[in-house]
Amino acid sequence: MPEQPGRERPASGAPLRDRLASLAGEYAAFVRVAAGRPRRVGAVLPTSAWGGRALAQVVPASRPATVVELGPGTGSVSDVVHQRLAPGSTHIAIELDADMVRHLREAKPWLDVVHGDAADLRALLAEHDVGELDAVVSALPWTLMTGEQQSRVLAEVARALRPGAPFTTIVYNHGISTLQGRLFRRRLERVFDEVLLTRTVWRNMPPARTYVCRTSPAR
């Protein structure tokens, strides 16, 4: 079993060369998948640490929580989520690409990586005896999905979350006001009672924002 969050974490003063080696490994894994299967990757670079922090803001930090990450890719966001989680938490990452799954399992042994489709979220959670979720964090490439696929994933997320728990996903600035971007927001608003768009993260490439969504606890 992966180690629990909050245990045996690297010291904050870990050597710079170790961090650079980790980033190089993530970038190499990203390039391999992007070059071989571009329809699986909707970004030009992995999400930055600043983008990851924006996504992870919704993750409970003061108590044990069950958090699912959708589309972790190279794991750049996984690191930030892991650092924020309280001891005793459960951190599950659901990844569709087999090469990314292998990379994550090798590079991040503390992460519980599930090879599967986010559209099958509840079935995957049931297979792993996971109940209601306290947060879902997503870096899925929404622009590579059809409207029907987007709606299915969003419905699965909403049903897997406990009432009032947050769902957050990253979107690129240049796509928000396009027709596809506006349609995506409408799909969010059909599923969730609250849909908020955060400030731009300029230290991401491309610059991005996050949607933070919740269903009403009274549902």
* CATH classification at residue 107: 3.40.50.150
Rounded CA separation 6/61 (Å): 10
Count of the separate structural domains present in the chain: 1
CB 138 within 8 A of CB 72: no
Question: Quick check: is 4 in a domain?
Answer: no
Residue 219: inside a domain: no
pLDDT of residue 41: 47
10 within some domain: no
Contact 115, 98 (CB under 8 A): yes
Is there a domain that residue 84 lies in? yes
For the segment 159-202, what is each residue's pLDDT rounded down to a tens digit? Answer: 999 999 999 999 999 999 999 999 999 999 999 999 999 999 99
48 within some domain:
yes
How crowded is the C-beta side of 121, counted as CA atoms within 13 Å? 28
Q: Average pLDDT over the chain, rounded to whole? A: 86
7: in domain? no
Per-residue pLDDT tens over the stretch 99-119:
899 999 999 999 999 999 999
Residue with tokens 């924002």: 209
The boundaries of the domain holding residue 183 are 16-214
CA separation, residue 162 to residues 62, 85, 185, 188, 191 (Å): 17, 18, 22, 17, 14
Does residue 5 form part of some domain?
no
Domain membership flag for residue 124: yes
